[in-house]
Amino acid sequence: METWTRRGAAFDCVPQPAACCPDWMAELPDALPLSRLSIPGTHDSLSLFGGRRLRCQSWGLEAQLAAGIRFLDVRCKLWRGELRIYHLCTFQRASLRGVLRRTLRFLRAHPGEAVLMRIKEELPIFSRPGFAAQLHRCLLEEGQGCVWCREEVPTLGQVRGKIVVLEALAREVLGIPYEQLSISDAWNVLSLERKWARVRRHLEKAAGGDPSTMYLTFCSGNGLFTYPEQVARFVNPRCQQHLRRRAGQPVRWGVVIMDFPGSGLLRLIVASNGHGTAAPSTARVPSRHPRGRGDRRRGQHSSARCPSARTLLPAPRLRRATSAPGGQKR
């Protein structure tokens, strides 16, 4: 099953995606909660540098969004008052402010879409004081009121044109608490077969589980004797084959988070939402993203940057009532 080509239906490590699907959420009903959707995402979304041991993606941020990715895994370190993007100790030549600006630029061009963004402090064992305060300031200043920072899972209609924050802070509440979600993130891979078995079990759990619960399945991994690209070459084709068995019927797979995803795998995840969702085209991703047909269908979304001003950031709330994060968190 594993092929060592640079581009396939399930695995793709070339700089530009083969699929372009910038407006697939615009086809879905407003009343759908995000927990009811199948959403393609990327693990360590900005990890483009660091060699094969650290590199997790080949597409830049704009290319991922245009291809249909709607979950971003963003990892930051506080450095001289700025939140910079890192993978372990390798700087990824980006900042959180820049990521927010670029994502909101995409959402202004495609106001029927929403982007889930997990924001995490990289290597929190060496946590710097002030990370949470700086994150709150950054979201407030760059979010332009288009950031969902409430604890409850919203409907799609509530967050069109917005970034939905999934945060992994220990005390403050700046979004949907990450540790309260159903997550499979067996990132330390000792056996590729066991890794895929855990991914498959959690995908089936998402397909038949509580529709009000958000499920996140990480297909990605790393290990002493393997690396992200090798894991993706093994797991992604098996994931595609598994999803293809139920192609043509609506299935909630939850958020499927991948390294080096291919266009065929993205197409299966998006199409599983049903409701007449358009499949990705095979056109190359343009450098500028024109408004899709979802804008014409939803003229109310294109009249303003944000449907509601009531989603402005709340003040940080200390002493979270939930328990300490479990062992699933990375």
Which residue ranges in the chain fall short of pLDDT 50?
A: 1-3, 279, 282-330
- 72, 117 contact by CB (below 8 A): yes
SS3 label, residue 62 = helix
Share of the chain above pLDDT 90, in %: 72
- Close Cβ partners of 61 (under 8 Å, ≥ 6 residues apart): 45, 46, 72, 94, 99, 102, 103
pLDDT of residue 295: 41
pLDDT of residue 172: 77
Which ranges constitute the DSSP H helices of the chain?
A: 61-67, 96-109, 131-143, 156-159, 192-208, 228-244, 263-271, 293-297, 299-302
Q: Which of 215, 212, 234, 214 is nearest to 223 (CA)?
A: 234
pLDDT of residue 330: 45
- 203, 256 contact by CB (below 8 A): yes
Distance CA 194, CA 139 (A): 38
pLDDT of residue 324: 37
Give whole-number Cα distances, 78 to 101, 137, 167, in Å.
18, 13, 16
The tokens 């990132």 sit on which residue? 187
Whole-model pTM: value is: 0.84
Q: Which of 218, 250, 242, 243 is nearest to 232 (CA)?
A: 218
Q: What is the pLDDT of residues 81-114, one digit of tens each?
A: 899 999 999 999 999 999 999 999 999 999 999 9
Distance CA 36, CA 155 (A): 9
pLDDT of residue 167: 86
Distance CA 150, CA 167 (A): 11
pLDDT of residue 169: 78
SS3 label, residue 261 = strand
Q: What is the pLDDT of residues 278-323, one digit of tens each?
A: 545 543 333 333 333 344 334 344 333 333 333 334 433 333 443 3
The tokens 């291919």 sit on which residue? 262
Q: What are the beta bridge partners of residue 20?
A: 281
